[in-house]
Amino acid sequence: MSTFGFSILDEFLPSFDKFGSIEKQRIMFLRFYNMKVCCKEQFTSKELSYTKTENIFSIFRAKIYSLLPKKFNSSRIFKIDTYKTNIINNFIEKADKNISYLKLNEKSNLDLAIKIIENFEGEDFKIFLNGEDVFHKFVGKKIKDLKSDRKVKILQDEITIYPQGSSATKVYPYWKFLDKDNIQGITSHINRAIKCIKSDECRQVYLVYPRHENFDKHISIKVKELDLGGDYTIKLIPYSLGSILK
């Protein structure tokens, strides 16, 4: 599952490791979503608690409704421009507004409501996240927090850690559910690590994948053509996403 997300009717979320329940899968999605949007669009801890009983679309819908003016309860006519009116009314027409925990805020924020609505795609109001992208962001942030005493450079497809007095360490995160008994499908990943070490750009490369039941321990990779070139490390790392639930 390279992408995952939801629509007005369904949820398409991965189940692995600590994310066996639908509640935890929803939390994972919303936490990842928070990493991609501005602070005002992010879901609060209170909103995340709705995952116990509500699907993700309902949680988005409630957030949008909470940003609309109180007159929304009795009328669909807003004193705003036509463009905004059409966006809001189109959403209301298609989204059932009978939400048990909906509380409309006196301080409406129409622009923010519209911004969230515009994140949806298609008539079925779907939002999907790219697993590779959000996993990379998650791993990069965790490394930066843990290695605050070192320079950490995060690029689109790699993370470089620069320790003092030694060569750099490369980290390549991949959103792939690795099977420890069958790693043939990651030949291109291993070749990338070999190329990095051969270039003398680094001596340690960590290929990072989501931790799950069939991949829960580090695996060291030995390459004959590198053995004569001095010390090097290539490891497959199971990375836990459990902290995203806290």
What is the Cα–Cα distance from 114 to 92, expressed in whole angstroms?
Answer: 12
Per cent of the chain over pLDDT 90 is 70
Cα–chain-centroid distance for residue 222? 32
What is the Cα–Cα distance from 196 to 225, expressed in whole angstroms?
Answer: 13
The predicted pLDDT at position 74 comes to 43
**What does the block give as tokens for 1?**
């599952």
Cβ-proximal residues to 151 (8 Å cutoff; 6+ apart), any chain: 161, 162
Q: Are the C-beta atoms of 111 and 104 separated by less than 8 Å?
A: no
Q: Check: CATH 3.40.1350 for 131-245?
A: yes
What is the Cα–Cα distance from 62 to 241, expressed in whole angstroms?
Answer: 27
Residue 80 predicted with pLDDT over 80 = no
pLDDT in tens, 173-191: 999 999 999 898 999 999 9
Q: Which DSSP state fits 177?
A: -
The predicted pLDDT at position 104 comes to 45
What is the Cα–Cα distance from 183 to 222, expressed in whole angstroms?
Answer: 13
Residue 70 predicted with pLDDT over 70 = no
pLDDT in tens, 7-35: 999 999 999 999 999 999 999 999 999 99
The predicted pLDDT at position 167 comes to 85
Q: How confident is the model at residue 107 (pLDDT cuts 50, 70, 90)?
A: low
The predicted model scores a pTM of 0.89
The predicted pLDDT at position 88 comes to 83
pLDDT in tens, 187-206: 999 999 999 999 888 999 99
Q: Give me the half-sphere count of Cα atoms (radius 13 Å) on the Cβ side of residue 55.
A: 11
Segment among 66-70, 114-118, 232-236 with least mean pLDDT? 66-70
Collapsing DSSP to helix, strand or coil, 119 comes out as coil
Sign of CA dihedral 69, 75, 79, 84: positive
Averaged pLDDT for residues 136-151: 92
Q: Give me the half-sphere count of Cα atoms (radius 13 Å) on the Cβ side of residue 177.
A: 12
Every domain of the chain with CATH number 3.40.1350 lies at: 131-245
Segment among 25-29, 84-88, 152-156 with least mean pLDDT? 84-88
The predicted pLDDT at position 103 comes to 47
pLDDT in tens, 92-101: 888 875 544 3
What is the Cα–Cα distance from 222 to 198, expressed in whole angstroms?
Answer: 14
Residue 122 predicted with pLDDT over 50 = yes
The predicted pLDDT at position 118 comes to 96
Averaged pLDDT for residues 217-223: 96
User: How much is the CA Rg of the chain, to the nearest whole Å?
Assistant: 22
**What does the block give as tokens for 109?**
């924020």
The number of beta carbons lying within 10 Å of the beta carbon of residue 108 is: 17
Cβ-proximal residues to 41 (8 Å cutoff; 6+ apart), any chain: 112, 115, 116, 119
Per cent of the chain over pLDDT 70 is 90
Residue 58 predicted with pLDDT over 90 = yes
